[in-house]
Amino acid sequence: MKQNQLAALINSKLTKSIVSLAAPLSLTLLAMGSAHAETTKSVADAVTQGSVKVDLNLRYEMVEQDNALKDADGLTLRTRLTYATADYYGFSSTVEFEDSRVVAGVDDYNNTLGKNPEYSVIADPETTELDQFFLKYDYEGFSAKAGRQVITFDNQRFVGHVGWRQDRQTFDGVMLEYKFNDVFKIDYGYISQRNRIFAEEKDIDAKDNLINASLKTGFGTLSGYGYLLEEDIETSNGLDTYGLRFAGNTDVGDIKVLYTAEYATQDSDTAGQSYSADYMSIEGGVGFFGITFKVGYEVLGSDGGDYGFQTPLATLHGFNGWSDQFLSTPKQGLADLYASIGGKIIGGKWALVYHEFEADKSSALVDDLGSEIDAVFSVPVTKNYTLGVKYAAYSAGDLAAGKVDTDKVWLWANAKF
C-alpha cells in the first residue's frame, strides 16, 4: 500500500468490517454504562485527556543462505503512533497507525510480495496500515473490545502478535473477558480477519472462535484452551486445537525453579482431507545469581508422517529457532530439544540458545532436521532508547528435508515516547 493512501484505508472494506462488529456491541454496552463510576466529566474530557505514544524501530537485517538466492540485507524504520482516550463510564477507545519504510535505499531483499525474488526473504514489506482501532468497555472484572486489536494468549505459542516483525499481527473481531479476584480468568474471541505481518495483500478473512481460561494457584497458572480456526473461503476447512498448559516457578532457598508443561491435540479438515496430531512441550529451569538456565523439549506431532501440527496465529519467531526455518511444521512433524542460558550484564540482557531438531515421524530420507545456535544482547541507553544485536545460525540436516545452512544478523535501535 502506498504511503499516501491513508484515506483509502479508512474507507476500505477492512475498516467497514470493524465498524460492523463494533456497532452492535457499543449499543449494548451503552445501556450498561450508567452503572459505572464516572472517571471523566464528559466525552470531550475523555478525548482531550487521552494519551499519545510513539514507537520507532530502526532495524538492519542480513540473511545468508547456502543456495542460489542472493544474500539479503534490508534497513527499515517502523513507526507506530498510538492514541488512547481516557476512561468515560468504563468506555475507552484506541486508534493506532503503523508505517514501515525502507531507509537509505537498503532494500536488497525478497519482501514476500514479489519484490526481488532473486534474494533471500526478509519479511518486512513497506506498508502503512491501521494497526489497531477498537472500542473497549470495563466494568467490575468484565471487559469487551470490538474492532481491530492485538490478541495474545499464554506464551503466544498459539495466538500472538508476532511483534518481532516490523508489521505486527493484529485481528479484526470481538474479545470478551471476565476476571474473578485476579485468580480466575476466561476469554472468548471471535475473529473475522487475520491481519498478518505481510501487509494487507496477505490478510486472511476468517471465522475463528477462541476460548482460553486460566486459574492461578500457589505453584503456577493452569490454562485450558480451544482454538477453532476457519478461513472464510469457498472451500470447507477447519483447524481445531484443544489443550492444557501449566507454567510457574517457586523459590528453593536462593534458587528460583521454573517449570512448564503443555499438551494439545489438533484436528485438521481441508478439501476432504482429515488429519489429527498432538502437541507436547515440557521445560524446566533454574535461576541463581542473575543467571537463568533452561532445558526444554517440544514436539509438534504428525499423523503418521503425513501432516505437521500447525499454529498459524502464533508468534512463531519465538519458537524453534530465530532463523525461522519452521514457520510451517513439516509433514514429518518436529521434535525440538533445546537449552538456553541468559542474564544481565553491563545494564543489558543477553541470552544464548541451542536447538537440536529431528522429525517426529522419521522416514528413510528424513530424520535429522538440523540444529541452530541463537544469541541476543539488548541494552537500554536511557529511559526511552534501546540498542540491540541478534544472531541466528542454522545448520541443515538431511538433504531431503529441503533446508539449507542459514545465517541471520539483526542490529536495531528502538525509541519509545
pLDDT digits (tens, 9 = 90+) for 356-391: 999 999 999 999 999 999 999 999 999 999 999 999
pLDDT band at 227, cuts 50/70/90?
Answer: very high
| Cα–Cα distance measured from residue 190 to residue 176, given in angstroms and rounded to the nearest whole number | 9
Confidence of residue 236 (pLDDT cuts 50, 70, 90): very high
264 close to 243: Cβ distance less than 8 angstroms: yes
* Lowest mean pLDDT segment, chosen from 26-30, 284-288, 293-297, 352-356: 26-30
CA 60 vs. chain centroid, Å, equals: 20
For position 127, what pLDDT does the model report?
Answer: 96
Mean pLDDT of the chain: 92
Give 25-45 pLDDT, tens digit per residue. Answer: 444 444 444 445 457 989 999
Contact 72, 122 (CB under 8 A): yes
In the numeric block, which cell numbers belong to residue 179? 476476571
Contact (CB, 8 A) for 323 and 408: yes
Residue 17 has pLDDT above 70, yes or no: no
CB 308 within 8 A of CB 330: yes
Mean pLDDT of 183-202: 96
Q: Residues for the chain: how many in total?
A: 417
Residue-wise pLDDT for 82-130, tens only, equals 999 999 999 999 999 999 999 999 999 999 999 999 999 999 999 999 9
pLDDT the model gives residue 170:
98
Q: What is the grid cell recorded at 35?
A: 452503572
Tell me which H or E stretch contains 21: helix 13-32
For 315-372, what is each residue's pLDDT tens digit?
A: 999 999 999 999 999 999 999 999 999 999 999 999 999 999 999 999 999 999 999 9
Q: What's the confidence (pLDDT) of residue 272? A: 82
Enter the pTM of the model.
0.89
Query: Which residue stretches of 243-344 are H helix?
Result: none
- pLDDT at residue 231 greater than cutoff 80: yes
Residues 6+ away with beta carbon under 8 Å from 149: 132, 134, 170, 171, 173, 175
142-149 and 127-139 as β-strands: parallel, antiparallel, unpaired?
antiparallel
> How distant, in Å, are the alpha carbons of 133, 286, 330, 358 from that of 261?
35, 15, 23, 20
CA Rg value for the chain: 22
Helix (H) / strand (E) containing 352: strand 348-358
Give the span between the Cα atoms of 31 and 35, in whole angstroms: 9
The rounded distance, in Å, linking the Cα atoms of 406 and 402 is: 12
Provide the pLDDT for residue 271.
Answer: 82
Q: How confident is the model at residue 38, as a pLDDT?
A: 55
Report CA torsion sign: 154, 157, 159, 162: positive
Residue 246 is placed in which grid cell? 501449566
Give just the sign of the alpha carbon dihedral 402, 403, 404, 409: positive
Percentage of the residues of the chain whose pLDDT score is greater than 90:
89
Name the DSSP class of 325.
Answer: T
130's grid cell:
491501521
Convert the pLDDT of each residue in 37-70 to its tens digit.
Answer: 457 989 999 999 999 999 999 999 999 999 999 9
Span 164-182, mean pLDDT?
Answer: 97
C-alpha cell at 400: 531431503
DSSP string, 214-257: EEE-SS-EEEEEEEEE-B-SSS-EEEEEEEEEEEEEEEETTEEE
CATH of domain 6-416: 2.40.160.10
Q: For the chain, which residues make up each domain, given as ranges?
A: 6-416
